[in-house]
Structure 1
Amino acid sequence: MEEQGQRDPQIVLVPCPFQGHINPMLNLGSILHSKGFSITIAHTQFNSPKPSDNPDFVFLPISDGLSYSDLSSKGIVDFISCLNINCKEPLLESLTPMIDEKQQLKELPCIIYDEYMYFAEQVAHLLKLPSVILSTGSAANLLTYYAFPRLQKDGFIPFQDDMALDMVPELHPFRFKDLPFRFKDLPGASSENLDALSKLIASARDTRSSSAMILNSMEYLEQSSLIQLKQQCRIPLFSIGPLHKTAPAPSSSLVKEEASCMAWLDKQALNSVIYVSLGSMVSMDEKELTEMAWGLAHSKQPFLWVLKRGPPGSFHGSESTDSLPNGFKETIGNRGYIVNWAPQNEVLAHRAVGGFCSHCGWNSTLESISDGVPMICRPSFGDQRVNTRYICHVWRVGFELENDLSREEIEGAIKRLMTGKEGEELRQRAIDMKVKVESCIKKGGSSYNSLNELVDGLFSS
């Protein structure tokens, strides 16, 4: 019979069911499993990860009563609120038998939950379990959440259009247009009602009874923001990013990846390919798709383009190769490769990829920086604007497409990044950042040390 001291301590992970949140949570699970923890993934049935892709984990489904049509009709803010209402009791019911069994062995688990799945902390509190927050965005984005009440009180939110380029008081380096608070821009939003957004932001920044916060970031990248964040949240912070480089998880993609593009990349010249992927949440309309297609074609540059076909959580319908303009495929020949979804980590690490046209979600931002790939930024909503501001004006490894998408602007941006002198300078800065990021996760680096401190804390909890 196994002795009590030989049992692996247990961690229950509660991810938010969107691609950009599932990835870092499963990466964290892989890291902690490699450190000797037993991992249970308590996940919603909506957008549930595949147990077969992660055989080292135990999967615990939580009933949520929601569907893709609910996501489109409610909008993302109300949808997350419903998740927190609907999932609390099912998680409590699922964990109670486990706790009763572990109580006798004095082996109570710790719950690590996504900042937007705050119902998990309520369950942990009821069960007298320790809880830790995983923030899947940047420290800078979280700082804007802490600034939200002050800005709202001072009458800056909602801001007027003529204030868009004004600097935000006491929140360098942001302009008002860079803030993630524009409710009308959120997928599925139907009004300017800020009340629901205010409540979500308040819940996401509230540490409640949680004992610590984990961030998918690193001191080198966000030192100033992390210092300010420590003053704001007043619990220990563990910056252990980039998670995907520390212990890459097995596939966590909600959409089947098309690895065939890697063979095509193998045939392309060094730094010649522009990789285009605008995220998993918002699809382009027909006009934008047409302009993007001809911009890519006229740039004369090899490209790999992720063109989604009805992925989970898409709000604006599905993109499809059937929607491409007449004559486009004949014009590009073998110079372009189009997939429904790509193995992005492998793509960005490929020698042929010299630029990334991105929505600038935090995962994509970290992945691009970690592989030394400069960016063309096309943010849509939320923290994508925050990340874009840093990419373009703080780290200076990219530039933004700020106007309505036109084929001329897209063509010019691609040439600017891929063949111009500015592109060379951006690429060199990105490569320099890659080296410094790698040093953070090596022995003695800030993320390496922070991870060891986190593991020690979890073992003693």
Structure 2
Amino acid sequence: MITPKTPPSAFIWNTLEFLEPSALTQIRQNYQVPTFTIGPLHKTAPTPSTSFLEEDTDCITWLDKQEPKSVIYVSLGSIANMDQNLATEMAWGLANSNQPFLWVIRPGSVQGYKWVEFLEEGLVAEIKVRGLIVKWAPQKEVLSHKAVGGFWSHCGWNSTLESVSEGVPMLCQPFSVDQLMNARYLSHVWKMGIEIVVEKREIEGAIRRLLVDKEGEEMRQSAMEIQENVKLAVSHGGSSQNSLNNMVEFILSL
């Protein structure tokens, strides 16, 4: 629970009422101040990309050539780093899954390497068969693409909301802070995610569970139901839209 040093006048949250009802109820009971749930902000107040890395839009052309719901999109965010062993396990798991994949590897994110030099020669050949590696991707556009059937993520809140908003189930690889709780919500509460241990055989199985098996179809159904609720929340008369209007009125009244 948040414990501000001075009493707040209000809370503004980048979330939705239906996603976290018990937590929001607890906050309201504890603080007795207005609480505005105006998320997801990329839908209620869309802005151009603020990424410090150049987005590789050619990956959209590659996605256009893939079958619907067949691609696993992999991006671990703009901060997380990993060692060579972890990155290699990820690479072999992706290659051996026999599913197409779009993998974002941020330059310098694999410790000791500028980019993808850690990949063994045989592994490079395997990846070229069915995968594409880019330095950065237009994530919101990727997640809304018809070819993307799953998102392997660090479960940062922005990425989580973007995936939830597009009805894309997730493989959850949290690193720290709120990512651990977000992963637990995705897998145990919203039923649209699988928490994974990064070992190549487990990765192979998890990707197939998500994209091919009945379990993945059930998670996709849950994700699509949440997506519909997001659409309702940000539409005219929806909870997020109403909360945004109430927030504006509250600020003007101060």
TM-score bracket for this pair, using the shorter chain length = over 0.9
Query: TM-score when scaled to structure 2?
Result: 0.95
Answering whether residue 40 of structure 2 is matched by residue 246 of structure 1, we say no
Pick one of 425, 437, 440 that aligns with 2:218: 425
CA contact (8 A) 1:283 1:318 kept: no
**Which secondary structure state, in structure 1, belongs to the residue aligned with residue 167 of structure 2?**
coil
Q: Distance in 2 between matches of 1:252 and 1:318?
A: 25
CA distance in 2, matches of 1:264, 1:322: 23
TM-aligned CA distance change 1:307 to 1:335, over 3 Å: same
CA–CA distance in structure 1, aligned partners of residues 24 and 64 of structure 2:
39
SS of the residue corresponding to residue 117 of structure 2 reads helix
1:410 aligns with 2:203: yes
Higher relative contact order structure (alpha carbons within 8 Å, sequence separation ≥ 6): 2
Asked if structure 2 preserves the Cα contact closer than 8 Å seen for 1:307 and 1:319, the reply is no
What are the residue-to-residue correspondences of 1:315-354 with 2, within 5 Å? 316=111, 320-354=115-149
Q: AA paired with 1:390?
A: Y
The structural deviation recorded for 1:388 is 0.9
Match among 367, 372, 384 for residue 179 of structure 2: 384
- Correspondence 1:25-64 to 2 at 5 A: none
By how many angstroms is 1:317 displaced?
5.4
**1:375 offset after TM fit, Å?**
0.6
**What is the alpha-carbon root mean square deviation over aligned residues?**
1.6
Could you tell me which amino acid in structure 1 is paired with residue 101 of structure 2?
F
Give the Cα–Cα distance (whole angstroms) in 1 for the partners of residues 45 and 94 of structure 2: 34
Q: Secondary structure of the residue that 1:281 maps to in structure 2?
A: coil
1:212, distance to aligned residue in structure 2 (A): 1.7
How many pairs does the alignment contain?
A: 254
- Quick one: distance in 2 between partners of 1:272 and 1:240? 32
Distance 1:316 1:228 in 2: 41
Aligned to 2:25: 227
In 1, Cα distance between the equivalents of 2:244 and 2:156?
Answer: 23
Quick check: 1:451 aligned with 2:244? yes
Q: How far apart, in 1, do the equivalents of 2:110 and 2:152 lie? A: 20
> Aligned with 1:327: secondary structure?
helix
Cα pair 2:16 2:39 within 8 Å, conserved: yes
Secondary structure of the 1:275 match is: strand
Q: Is the 8 A contact 1:308 1:318 kept in 2?
A: no
Aligned partner of residue 368 in structure 1, secondary structure = helix
Rounded to whole Å, the distance in 1 between the matches of 2:84 and 2:96 is: 18
Q: Percent identity?
A: 54
TM-superposition CA deviations, 1:77-122 (whole Å, max 9, x none): xxxxxxxxxxxxxxxxxxxxxxxxxxxxxxxxxxxxxxxxxxxxxx
The one-letter code sitting in structure 2 at the alignment partner of 1:422 is E
Residue in 1 aligned with 2:69?
271
TM-score (norm 1): 0.53
For structure 1, the 5+ residue unaligned runs are 1-142, 147-204
Question: 2:42 & 2:114 partners in 1: Cα distance?
Answer: 28
Distance 1:317 1:213, change over 3 A: farther
- Contact 2:84–2:111, Cα closer than 8 Å, also in 1: no
User: 8 Å contact 1:277–1:305 — kept in the other structure?
Assistant: yes
What secondary structure, in the 3-state scheme, does the structure 2 residue paired with 1:280 have? coil
What is the CA–CA distance in structure 1 between the aligned matches of 2:4 and 2:77, rounded to whole Å? Answer: 28
How far apart are 1:210 and its partner, in Å? 4.3
